[in-house]
Amino acid sequence: MANTVILGAQWGDESKGGTTDFLAEGADIVARYQGGDNAGHTIVIGEDKFVFHLLPSGVLHPNTVNVIGNGVVINLETLFGEISDLEACGVEVGDRLKISSRAHLILPYHRIMESWDDLGSGLKLGTTARGIGPTYSDKMNRHAGIRVADLLDFELFQKKLDFNLAAKGYALDQIGGEIDRQALLEQYYTYSEQLAPYVADTPELLNDALRTGKRILFEGAQGTMLDVDFGTYPYVTSSNTTVGAVCTGLGVGPQAIHRVLGVSKAYVTRVGSGPFPTEMPPDLDEEIRGIGEEYGATTQRPRRCGWLDLVALRYAAQVNGFTGLALTKFDVLDHLDELRVCVAYRRRGEEVATYPPSLRVLEECEAVYEILPGWKQSTVDVRHYENLPENAKRYIAFVADFLNVPIALISVGKERTQTIVCNEDLL
């Protein structure tokens, strides 16, 4: 049984959730390995729409086990909200959810500290304001981090909380962020009781599953260009979103990974600040945002839209070792007369062949485009590759050839069934 990583190839929102849900039909386990409730993963089944921030996107399949690994940062309010929303829809999570005792917790002061960081540096990163950066900072700093296991040992939790409230007291005072210690302790005592049944030795569970030939899907959050090392730093998130995080965020060896499926839109979107060489002119940006319903699943912010950037995508394919590509939201381009794809960058009259690590260099880069003819035909009802319009096939072939990565899957609508499997062996 192949174990497949499903991860974002761009700046997030590539439909990792939809892709994971589609593949989860044949999976035993779906595991999240990084990020937190900054993620918003949408799944549409018939008329029903689900958005998951923390729960893995396999949870709608009644026979899957869903793992939240040590690499994830957990906001318990979000988690329990999601579980009860699902239960209200008749989906029981119960013992199908397993949470790592090593995962770190996002506490209310982390969210407040995020605006303190913004103030201090003057850098407006345009984060999701979920406290992700401060939580990962505390994890790496070691003195301040609070893990799931610490919450279950409530005396230790109380000690760690007091250390944090004292250490962060000045900053919290300055920005007027008040934490009611007693109320927080009461709330977290309740959470600790609610959380206990879900906590498991997840590396043991996953490695057992590997030994017995179960199929695991590894579901990424955010996207390659938001990776803290490989993305457009500092306009990135605070975790590694690339393939290495599967091992560090779950406790499995690299042999556990058989396929790496990069998920990319047929164009590009980006939420938040940062350079974006293929950003569309305002009219087209608005048009694509309207058709693609490009508003953040977590913050509802309008997403910036751009042409497909093959320079960035080739870089993502390389960094992650993509064995296949899922090209999503293909239908959003159905109406266009012609399409641009960025095949190189140009800076000060010279071609830049690889993705620049320097933000300053990147800001000076202009996109060099290849123009391809549109197909001007609806693809929303197409279910087989052969039935796609010729110019659509041409666009797909151009992308695959440029990247030297085969196309595994195409989505032509948000509904679960609006998916074209191009090559089952790549999934």
CA dist 66 and 184 (Å) reads: 28
Give yes or no for a cis peptide into 389 (omega within 30° of 0): no
Q: Does 44 bind ligand GDP (CB under 6 A)?
A: yes
Please choose, out of 40-48, 249-257, 368-376, 388-396, the segment that lies near Mg ion by the rule CB under 5 A. Answer: 40-48
Rounded to an integer, what distance in angstroms lies between the CA atom of residue 37 and that of residue 130? 7
**Least distance to ligand IMO, CB of residue 343, Å:** 25
Subset of 390-419 contacting ligand GDP (CB under 6 A): 411-414, 418
Among 17, 58, 277, 324, binds ligand GDP (CB under 6 A): 17
Site for Mg ion contains 13 (CB under 5 A): yes
Distances (CA, A) of 164 to 133, 134, 259, 385: 16, 12, 41, 55
Nearest to ligand GDP of 277, 292 (CB atom): 292
| CA pair distance 32, 247, nearest whole angstrom | 11
- What torsion do the CA atoms of 279, 280, 283, 289 make, to the nearest 10 degrees? -70
Alpha helix stretches (DSSP H) within 333-415:
359-363, 390-403
Binding site for ligand IMO (CB under 6 A): 8, 11-13, 38-41, 125-128, 130, 132-133, 221-223, 226, 237-238, 271-272, 297
CA–CA separation, 129 and 178 (whole Å) = 17
Residue 132 is a binding residue for ligand GDP (CB under 6 A)? no
Active site residue 13: yes
- Helix, strand, coil shares, percent, the chain, to 5: 40, 20, 40
Q: Which is nearer to ligand IMO, 255 or 300 (CB)?
A: 300
**Per the residue annotation, which of 28, 41, 138, 309 is the catalytic one?**
41
Instruction: Output phi, psi for 252, to 5 deg.
Output: -125, 155
Q: What is the total count of residues that contact ligand GDP (CB under 6 A)?
A: 25
What distance in Å separates the CA atoms of residue 148 and residue 397, rounded to the nearest whole number? 46
Nearer to ligand IMO, 32 or 147 (CB): 32
For residue 41, indicate whether it is catalytic.
Answer: yes
- Among 35-43, 145-153, 315-323, 390-398, the segment contacting ligand GDP (CB under 6 A): 35-43
Which positions are annotated as active-site residues? 13, 41
Summarize as ranges the residues that interact with ligand GDP (CB under 6 A).
8, 12-18, 39-42, 44, 292-293, 297, 328-329, 331-332, 411-414, 418
